[in-house]
Amino acid sequence: TGAYNRPAGVSNIEDVEVVVVGGGVTGLAAAGAIAAARRSVVVLERHPRPGMETSTHNSAVIHAGLYYPRHSLKANLCVEGAERLYAVPHDRCGKFVVATSQDEIAVLERIMATAHANGVANLEMVGDAELRRREPNIRAVAAMWSPNSGRVEAEALVRALRAVAAARDAVVLCGTSLLSAGPAHGGFELRTERETILARSVVNAG
């Protein structure tokens, strides 16, 4: 962007508006959103390809949004995010939340009421006979069926987010470790093994 005072005698400097540290799901999603606002973005990822840590080493559950407080930001984002995640390869397997006693049925009913208030659709309560028919190995007195719970293919999600970021001209530098960073020249100076990058803003998604 040319927004910084280039230090004298240093030639291997790149100027960008935003550097995102970490090329997992969070970093790639942030880079894509920032690039959509027509800001120059560079993602620093130390591994040979994005998403090699937490983003692909988790249960990959797509949560329907059952448990969050009514009308909370977390609930709203969970419901919206679940539908977005089903745009990539997935298994919409659904899940049962079971009650093993009569007292727990009241708990399920409260969870269901909150989930409905948050926009979670198609929830249903099933009795023990129907539960045994659908899942013979479960022993419970009742259950709540959540058809919008599922699993996402984590690697496919990473690839999709990288493609979105690349289509918006975000640059992903794989095999690039961040060695040091600090305020400098009206922004931030970040050093890797190969270059020094000056950025107006830094997003730490590492």
Q: Is the pLDDT of residue 125 over 60?
A: yes
The β-bridge relationship of strands 90-91 and 171-173 is unpaired
Are 165 and 152 contacting, i.e. CB atoms less than 8 angstroms apart?
no
Q: Is the pLDDT of residue 140 over 80?
A: yes
Q: Is the pLDDT of residue 4 over 70?
A: no
The share of the chain scoring above pLDDT 90, in percent, equals 91
Measured from the Cβ of residue 123, the count of other Cβ atoms closer than 10 Å reads 19
State the residue for tokens 């959103």.
33
Q: Supply 50's token pair.
A: 């994005």
| Torsion, CA 59, CA 83, CA 161, CA 75, rounded to 10 | -70
Over residues 123-147, the mean pLDDT reads: 95
Q: Is the pLDDT of residue 14 over 80?
A: no
Could you read off the pLDDT of 38-62 as tens digits, one per residue? 999 999 999 999 999 999 999 999 9
- Which stretch of DSSP H or E encloses residue 78? helix 73-85
Q: Is the pLDDT of residue 154 over 50?
A: yes
For residue 13, the model assigns a pLDDT of 53
When the pLDDT of each residue in the chain is averaged and rounded to a whole number, the result is 92
Cα-based distances in Å from 25 to 81, 92, 151, 165:
13, 20, 15, 11
Q: Is the pLDDT of residue 114 over 50?
A: yes
Are 44 and 190 contacting, i.e. CB atoms less than 8 angstroms apart?
yes
Give the C-alpha separation, 41 to 148, whole Å. Answer: 34
For residue 5, the model assigns a pLDDT of 42
Over residues 171-191, the mean pLDDT reads: 94
Q: Is the pLDDT of residue 100 over 50?
A: yes
